[in-house]
Structure 1
Amino acid sequence: MEDITKDWTGGEASFIPTPMEVAERMLEMAQVGARDVVYDLGSGDGRIVIRAAEKYGAKGVGIEIDPKLVERSREEAKRRGMSRLVEFRAGDIRKTDVSGATVVMLYLTADMNLELRPTFERQLKPGTRVVSHDHAMNGWTPLRVETLAGTWYHEHRIYLWEVGRTE
């Protein structure tokens, strides 16, 4: 599989998946449940929404710009029997309607988080949880920040916000 995908600027960005232990903690921090709809913006191989469906029975929507990763995600969801709960769409996350989300997962850049913040403020309902791996969102105060051990050179930081409580 190619590990280079086009990013939102039209340039190239490496596909770097969220480690599963970090994804698990992100879902736990968001207190995902069967009534949730989890959106993962820049969903890569689909691991976060597939895991939300498997472990919690949540519905999930992955948005990914690389059609090859979208197809790979769909295949993995089918292989795991989760196709009825998750869907994957090829698209630009800056143009995505996120109003149906109760949880939004991010592993982007701080700049991209900041660019998406006005969309979140317009479209997300109060109580929607937003969780970011490694990058804060200037202007929003997180309800919680956790640090997980990573490799010898990197610790993973997870930020949790709730719309209506953190702006």
Structure 2
Amino acid sequence: MTPHPRRRTILLSAAAATGLTMLPFGRALAQITAAMPRLDVPYVPTPQDIVDKMLDLARVGKNDTLFDLGCGDGRIVVTAAKARGARGTGIDIDPVRIAEATENAKKAGVSDRAKFRVGDLFKTDFSTATVVTLYLLPNINAKLRPQLWKQLKVGTRVVSHAFDMGAEWPAEKTVEVDGRTIYYWTVTEANKRAVA
């Protein structure tokens, strides 16, 4: 069975990202599927009204560099680039999601400002970020917290959809949108000292 043309494009992009473009499509797809990493967080897209509110809360503008950790289909990075003029990078461990995000940026006309790459969040350098967005799980947020404190500059804004960072880093603001919670923090000198 031949996949829908858009899905085929995404899967071919994933094949390119994993070096499998020389194989017949069916075989490349089978190898991509077999090589898929175990996901710590299931892919659940953030609704667009939540994306918009997250960007509002973080005051994202044209001078910002946004990193979306666990970017999925790239909608936060694409929206930040298209609607706010920001530059953004999305990181996800799933090559199919990265291929989809790259395609979405291309369709939105923001490929010059919205970049995506396959990567392990715990091995990623996001120290150039002025804004970090997340929609992960509580245990992943807690595990990432020291890395955020260590890498990010004082004043960097962090916004999470649905899950907080634990008692060690209470949110400065919380906002409810359609029964969903968004959490907001800024990195402080005290955070930096805690991991020095």
Normalised TM-score (structure 1): 0.89
Q: 1:54 aligns with which of 72, 82, 87?
A: 82
Q: C-alpha separation between the residues in 2 aligned to 1:76 and 1:125? A: 30
CA RMSD of aligned residues (A): 1.9
**8 Å contact from structure 1 (residues 142, 166) kept in 2:** no
Unaligned runs of 5+ in 2: 1-6, 12-32, 192-196
User: Which residue of structure 2 lines up, in the alignment, with residue 157 of structure 1?
Assistant: 181
Flag the 1:71–1:123 CA change in 2: closer, same or farther, 3 A.
same
Equivalent position of 2:49 in the other structure: 21
Instruction: Report Cα offsets for 1:82-136 as digits up to 9, x if no partner.
Output: 0000100001111111101100000001110010011011100001000000101
- Residue-pair matches, total: 158
Which structure has greater strand proportion?
1
- Structure 1: stretches of 5+ with no match in the other structure: 150-154
Question: Is this contact kept in 2: 1:41–1:106, CA < 8 A?
Answer: yes
Q: Please name the residue that 1:143 is paired with.
A: 172
Q: Percent same amino acid among aligned pairs?
A: 43
Equivalent position of 1:152 in the other structure? none
Shift of 1:15: 1.2
* Mapping 1:82-93, distance limit 5 Å: 82-93=110-121
- Name the aligned partner's letter for residue 161 of structure 2: H
> CA 1:38–1:23 in 2, change beyond 3 Å: closer, same or farther?
same
Decide which structure has the larger Cα Rg and report it.
2
Distance between the aligned counterparts of 1:47 and 1:11, measured in 2?
19
User: Which residue is 2:153 aligned to?
Assistant: 125
Distance in 1 between the 2:60 and 2:39 partners?
A: 33
Taking the aligned partners of 1:109 and 1:15, their CA distance within structure 2 comes to: 11
The answer as to whether partners of 1:143 and 1:166 remain within 8 angstroms in 2 is no
Q: Cα offset for 1:12?
A: 6.6
Residues 39, 93 of structure 2: 8 Å contact kept: no
Moved over 2 A (4+): 10-14
Task: Using the TM superposition, give the Cα deviation of residue 157 of structure 1 relative to its aligned residue in structure 2, in angstroms.
Answer: 0.3
Deviation at 1:80, TM superposition (A): 1.0
Which of 54, 72, 90 aligns to 1:44? It is 72
SS state of the match for residue 63, structure 1? Answer: strand
